[in-house]
Amino acid sequence: MDLTFIVVLVIVLAIFFDFTNGFHDTANAMATPIATGALRPRVAVAVAAVLNLAGAFLSTTVASTISGGIIKEGPGGVDITPAMIFAGLIGAVVWNLVTWLRGLPSSSSHALFGGLIGAALVGAGLGSVDFGVVLSKVVFPALLAPLVAGVAGFVATRLAYRITRRPVEKNRRAGFRVGQIFTSSMVALAHGTNDAQKTMGVITLALIAGGFLRTGSAPPFWVIIICACAIAAGTYTGGWRIIQTLGGGLTDIKATQGFSAEAATAATVLASSHLGFALSTTQVASGSIIGAGLGRRGGSIQWGTAGKIVIAWFITLPAAAAVGAVCELIAQFGVVGLALEVVLGLGVIVGIFVISRRRPGSSNALEVDVAMNSVRTRSERRDAEKKRSEEILATRRRLSDESSLFGYGQDVR
């Protein structure tokens, strides 16, 4: 089979994965400022997109292994073929879209690892996957990330409320909204430096596997530009469903909590990536929001939603692996298999988009509008309602003015 063709397919799919990664993770940084009204939804996603774009250019040293040691690659291990990477990417993209459809924040990198594991298990046998590394790099961090972030968010929120407490006079906590813009921006920037890099790595390794680049070479400049643009575009599209879950579905977030939660997220992500214990940004963000929710007196957590999120974390890897395995199985039928794989993958992606448009709104524009309305603050909602009723009144007046041919509606003005 023509290797060039598969490499092109891998690059296209990797860019699409980067895009889904972007809109899947907008919520990590921007759910809380949108929920508390610190930033307008469109402004928030625009800020996140710009910071992701900048972040992608700031950090371009890609990993030398595609799976970070989960699959025994390289000399003495298995050879990861571009076809395997393609199957793995389909698994990752499909699972990212499914969790987005359900509004569940799940780790995009775990989905990618899962897809690759599935493909490697089918393509290279059981011995190709190092399950010890799976346990220490995926399963334990998934348990510990929300714990650390949760405690950090809880302590920070408690402190913030305690320090700004004024028993007699009115509390002045509006300033936390301003602070929130900065802490959220930090999270968005950190995301850009981490996640765009992952896709650059996948594309670079596919190019190396296809013999277009020498082993150990840095990503070409066009790869950097495309990855940066894809993740920024994805971020700007905004995964409103996930923003809704993190911004309002878990707990009712106030500005003080939002500031504390994002500070906890930023601190945990930075500490974990610089002190050698990698944690998933998505899981950290969810954990600190839960911590912040528990930290406010009178705050409550929707444990049903939290439970669903945790379940999604733990099935992300096996689910993506199952899809990746099926794709690799199909791919073993040569060119026909590959064509079938492409058709099936496209079918699933289009299918999910169709479903997403059907529910809850009838159109995407409406869905975005509904999501944006539902994450507004209480006062904003009240204002919006007032404005809407005024508009209706004005429309009625206008209509009656226009029908004033027989003298009707003159007195209304």
Residues forming the site for other proteins (CB under 8 A): 55, 58-59, 61, 132, 135-136, 140, 144, 148-149, 151-153, 155-157, 159-160, 163-164, 166, 169, 171-173, 175-176, 179, 182-183, 186, 189-190, 193, 259-260, 263-264, 266-268, 270-272, 274-277, 279, 288
User: Cα–Cα distance between 173 and 355 in angstroms, integer?
Assistant: 41
CB of 148 to other proteins, least distance (A): 5
Smallest gap, in angstroms, from Cβ of residue 298 to other proteins?
A: 18
Which of 88, 86, 106 lies closest to 21 in space, CA to CA? Answer: 106
Nearer to other proteins, 162 or 413 (CB): 162
Contact 69, 133 (CB under 8 A): yes
Name which of 148 and 253 has its Cβ closer to other proteins: 148
Q: How far apart are CA 202 and CA 70, in angstroms?
A: 15
Cα(144)–Cα(142) distance, integer angstroms? 6
Q: What is the largest CA-CA distance in the chain?
A: 91
For 83, 87, 205, 383, the CA distances from 342, given in Å and listed in that order, are 11, 10, 21, 48
Shortest Å distance, C-beta 85 to other proteins:
25
Residue written as token pair 């076809």? 83
The CB-of-259 to other proteins minimum distance in angstroms stands at: 7
Q: Which is nearer to other proteins, 120 or 188 (CB)?
A: 188
Nearer to other proteins, 189 or 331 (CB): 189
The residue among 149 and 309 lying less far from other proteins, judged by its C-beta, is 149
Q: Which is nearer to other proteins, 221 or 406 (CB)?
A: 221
- Burial group, residue 2, by CB count within 10 angstroms (0-12, 13-18, 19+): exposed
Name residue, tokens 């987005």: 100
**Shortest Cβ 227–other proteins spacing (Å):** 16
391-to-302, 386, 387 alpha-carbon distances in Å: 35, 9, 6
Residue 18: both structure tokens together = 């980067």
The residue among 254 and 376 lying less far from other proteins, judged by its C-beta, is: 254
What minimum distance in Å lies between the beta carbon of 137 and other proteins? Answer: 9
CB of 17 to other proteins, least distance (A): 23
CA 165 distance to own-chain centroid: 35
N-term to C-term CA, the chain:
76
